[in-house]
């Protein structure tokens, strides 16, 4: 089975603050799917994250919503074109209010680093020397 798109849904506390944070990193939002309750963060051609205000997020599940500052509910990992791209993005995130709880990971064939966003969600980025060989 092969899927064409991905939509990751994340609960957030403050829509304006979250949008400003991701815009500071160079991302944009699809206005067709963005309002005061949810914002469609565009990560790539077919890669999207729906930032949903917590009360709205709760309408999609009967489960308790995890506090990402205290528990890990998901680790979002995205590919990068280079180590420099990762370091630049993490630096921008930290300057915009994120934290970087772990040091960069350098495995020779793969380099990774990341940050926890304003709501505590972990965003990781990986550069693989030859991703096509590593992923089969």
At residue 6's C-alpha, the angle toward residues 117 and 67, to 5°, is 35
Distance CA 55, CA 58 (A): 5
Q: Are 114 and 125 spatial neighbours (Cβ–Cβ below 8 Å)?
A: yes
Is the pTM of the predicted complex or chain greater than 0.85?
A: yes
**pLDDT tens for residues 70-93?**
999 899 999 999 999 999 999 999
Q: Are 37 and 78 spatial neighbours (Cβ–Cβ below 8 Å)?
A: no
Q: Are 81 and 127 spatial neighbours (Cβ–Cβ below 8 Å)?
A: yes
The whole-number mean pLDDT for each consecutive block of 10 residues of the chain, a chain of 136 residues, reads: 92 98 98 97 97 97 94 92 97 98 95 97 93 55
Distance CA 82, CA 53 (A): 33
Distance CA 65, CA 51 (A): 14
Instruction: Say what the pLDDT of residue 130 is.
Output: 74
């Amino acid at each position: 089975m092969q899927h064409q798109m991905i939509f990751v849904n994340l609960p957030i506390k403050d829509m304006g603050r979250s949008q400003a944070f991701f815009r500071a990193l160079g991302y944009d939002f699809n206005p067709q799917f963005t309002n005061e309750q949810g914002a469609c963060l565009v990560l790539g051609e077919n890669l999207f994250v729906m930032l949903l205000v917590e009360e709205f997020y709760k309408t999609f599940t009967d489960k308790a919503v995890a506090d990402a500052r205290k528990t890990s509910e998901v680790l979002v990992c995205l590919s990068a074109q280079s180590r420099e791209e990762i370091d630049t993005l993490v630096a921008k995130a930290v300057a915009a209010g994120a934290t970087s709880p772990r040091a960069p990971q350098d495995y020779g064939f793969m380099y990774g680093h990341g940050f926890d966003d304003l709501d505590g969600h972990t965003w990781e980025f990986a550069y693989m020397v030859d991703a096509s060989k590593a992923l089969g």
